[in-house]
Amino acid sequence: DQQVKQNSPSLSVQEGRISILNCDYTNSMFDYFLWYKKYPAEGPTFLISISSIKDKNEDGRFTVFLNKSAKHLSLHIVPSQPGDSAVYFCAASVGAGKSTFGDGTTLTVKP
């Protein structure tokens, strides 16, 4: 049973527009969520996180929204830039416990 799902393997967006990456989870005990970005031949890089006591966290062009009732979180990138093209992983954990990663979404931002 995959507890964290990223149902869209890929997403293509025009430069300057909004990118919305989605993540669904099944374990209602998850209370901390993180997004990582990964370029080819590099390790993942932390982007942004949110705890379950919040429903939104913003950092520059990146905003994460959490809908606990729907067990859904999304990452918004506005405006999208070609350098944002990468694989994006969401991860969830229960307290300090082990993170569970989604399978990732490949974002392509076209100039």
Partner 1 sequence: DTEVTQTPKHLVMGMTNKKSLKCEQHMGHRAMYWYKQKAKKPPELMFVYSYEKLSINESVPSRFSPECPNSSLLNLHLHALQPEDSALYLCASSQEPAFSYEQYFGPGTRLTVT
Q: Which stretch binds partner 1 (CB under 8 A): 15-23, 31-39, 58-66, 74-82?
A: 31-39
CA 47 remoteness from chain centre: 8
Q: Which is nearer to partner 1, 22 or 79 (CB)?
A: 22
Q: What is the arrangement of strands in the sheet containing 4-5, beginning at the earlier edge strand? A: 4-5, 19-25, 72-77, 62-67, 56-59
75: alpha, beta or left, given left = phi > 0 and alpha = psi -120 to 50? beta
Q: Does 42 bind partner 1 (CB under 8 A)?
A: yes
Q: Which is nearer to partner 1, 7 or 14 (CB)?
A: 7
Instruction: Give residues in contact with partner 1 (CB under 8 A).
Output: 32, 34, 36, 41-46, 49, 51, 89, 91, 93, 95-99, 101-104
